[in-house]
């Protein structure tokens, strides 16, 4: 069920009405748990058992870790959790990738190897709920949270449908306390939650799917046919598409959770207004970047141990972050580019300490950061290295854009201007000054836009594949 589908609208309406009719907190939680499993079953019913088994295993192992006093035994149970979760993720997500690379390596050595046909469907959202679940066992091992959570509460934390298939990656320490205490959303919470859903759907259906995605798809299908400004339009269109697609999903997830009284953390803070790449990763997919920081970068050593080790840790973290997005060397290249950007920025910061706080340099830094991020999006979107080369060749030619490409460029210029203006603000800050009439007009305009853009190809959210 896509958030921008009629099926989901009916599903949400039924669940929300039942939630309001039930006044006791425990039955409310069970309603949300059953609804979340039904939501996941709509994608592929058999994979519900994987979600259920993973949930039970981590809940049980966390309790063993919590009760155990011996360090060696606690470490053993943590390793079991890590191996079980990551092995499951590796099997479904990277099985075909490993077999394909093994075949290529054998061919390079002169041997013939025909791997078995890999036609296993990737369980939707497995990367997201695996990382959410791992945060629980790791935090219990670190003695940062207690593992005294009832199974039903923990199962709801993992499977809660707003964040189940594409995040945000909500930490156990943030969501479990909210699940434990009775929650009754106020009229203001519900109203703002539905407003966020409307804005998120507008970002997804109108900006990402209708205005930007067609331009990006045509360009990456045949880069040589769209030279000059058409190539820039295609590159920028995908940069906007992935932001409005995933940012729109995150707004929907946050808004839906708010309708049931839960607070999710922000996942985007106007990332294309970033001044530097460390600033970009404080604004883009925040739940993933902070997860990688806390559970990978810092355990690797973080910025301790000298400059070389810090740069190594940055590069390893971004390489693995790239591989998390998909089983392809193109995603690894995307991660390598961002790792390289972060390393270069660290060197520049050491040579010019005041550069990134200089307000006079802010416009130049923002533009350079945005252009470099768009450059990195090329291997993220392109199917292979040859397409990347073709994209760059087209970008350095002289040609005018088509009408659709010109519209995509205008949309991106407007988006960048908006992000620059909102860089140090939040959507809540702006909306707090809106009257109820103005908020109603904004919601109505978003819904009209969604309705006008409906009827074409139904596109899943991009991050569903990760």
Q: How far apart are CA 274 and CA 423, in angstroms?
A: 8
Distance, in Å, from the CA atom of 424 to the CA atom of 369, rounded to the nearest integer, reads 17
Q: Are 265 and 168 in contact (CB under 8 A)?
A: yes
Whether the CB-CB separation of 273 and 422 falls below 8 Å is answered with yes
Please list, in sequence order, all residues whose beta carbon lies within 8 angstroms of the beta carbon of residue 290, skipping any fewer than 6 positions away.
none
- What letter does residue 402 receive in the DSSP assignment? -
The answer to whether 127 touches 89, Cβ cutoff 8 Å, is yes
Q: Is 261 left (phi over 0), alpha (psi -120 to 50) or beta?
A: left
Q: 142, 74 in Cβ contact below 8 A?
A: no
Q: What is the C-alpha to C-alpha distance for residues 400 and 425, in angstroms, rounded to an integer? A: 36
Instruction: Say if residue 240 is preceded by a cis peptide, omega within 30 of 0.
Output: no
- Phi and psi at residue 352, to the nearest 5°: -130, 80
Q: Cα–Cα distance between 239 and 44 in angstroms, integer?
A: 30
- Cα 142 to Cα 99: distance, rounded to the nearest angstrom: 36
Kindly tell me the sign of the dihedral angle through the C-alpha atoms of 159, 160, 164, 169.
negative
CA atoms within 13 A on the CB side of 267: 26
Angle between helix 229-259 and 187-202 (nearest 10): 160
* Residue 142 structure tokens: 């670190």
- State whether residue 121 is helix, strand or coil: coil
Positions marked active-site: 325
């Amino acid at each position: 069920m896509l958030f921008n589908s009629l099926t989901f609208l009916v599903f949400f309406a039924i669940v929300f009405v039942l939630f309001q009719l039930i006044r006791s907190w425990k039955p409310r939680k069970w309603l949300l748990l059953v609804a979340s499993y039904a939501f996941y079953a709509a994608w592929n019913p058999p994979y519900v058992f994987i979600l259920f088994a993973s949930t039970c295993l981590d809940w049980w192992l966390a309790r063993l870790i919590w009760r155990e006093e011996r360090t060696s035994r606690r470490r053993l149970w943590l390793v079991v959790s890590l191996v079980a979760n990551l092995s499951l993720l590796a099997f479904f997500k990277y099985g075909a990738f490993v077999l394909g690379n093994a075949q290529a390596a054998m061919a390079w050595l002169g041997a013939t190897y025909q791997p078995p046909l890999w036609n296993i469907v990737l369980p939707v959202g497995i990367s997201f709920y695996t990382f959410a679940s791992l945060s629980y066992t790791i935090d219990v091992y670190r003695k940062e949270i207690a593992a005294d959570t009832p199974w039903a509460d923990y199962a709801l934390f993992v499977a809660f449908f707003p964040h189940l298939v594409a995040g945000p990656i909500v930490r156990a320490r943030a969501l479990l306390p909210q699940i434990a205490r009775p929650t009754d959303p106020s009229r203001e919470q519900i109203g703002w939650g539905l407003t966020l859903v409307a804005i998120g759907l507008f970002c997804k259906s109108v900006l990402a799917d209708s205005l930007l995605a067609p331009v990006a798809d045509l360009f990456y299908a045949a880069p040589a046919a769209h030279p000059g400004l058409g190539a820039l339009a295609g590159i920028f269109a995908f940069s906007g598409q992935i932001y409005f697609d995933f940012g729109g999903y995150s707004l929907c997830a946050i808004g839906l959770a708010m309708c049931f009284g839960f607070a999710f953390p922000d996942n985007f803070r106007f990332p294309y207004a970033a001044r530097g790449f460390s600033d970009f990763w404080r604004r883009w997919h925040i739940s993933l970047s902070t997860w990688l920081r806390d559970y990978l970068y810092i355990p690797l050593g973080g910025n301790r141990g000298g400059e070389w080790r810090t740069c190594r840790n940055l590069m390893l973290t971004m390489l693995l972050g790239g591989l998390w997005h998909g089983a392809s060397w193109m995603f690894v290249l995307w991660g390598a580019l961002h790792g390289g950007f972060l390393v270069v920025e660290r060197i520049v910061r050491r040579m010019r300490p005041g550069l990134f706080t200089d307000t006079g340099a802010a416009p130049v830094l923002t533009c350079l950061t945005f252009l470099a991020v768009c450059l990195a999006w090329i291997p993220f979107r392109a199917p292979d290295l040859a397409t990347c080369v073709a994209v760059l060749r087209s970008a350095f030619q002289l040609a005018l854009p088509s009408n659709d490409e010109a519209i995509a460029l205008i949309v991106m210029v407007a988006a960048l201007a908006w992000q620059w203006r909102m860089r140090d603000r939040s959507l809540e800050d702006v909306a707090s000054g809106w009257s109820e009439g103005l908020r109603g007009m904004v919601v109505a305009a978003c819904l009209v836009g969604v309705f006008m853009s409906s009827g074409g190809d139904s596109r899943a959210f991009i991050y569903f594949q990760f």
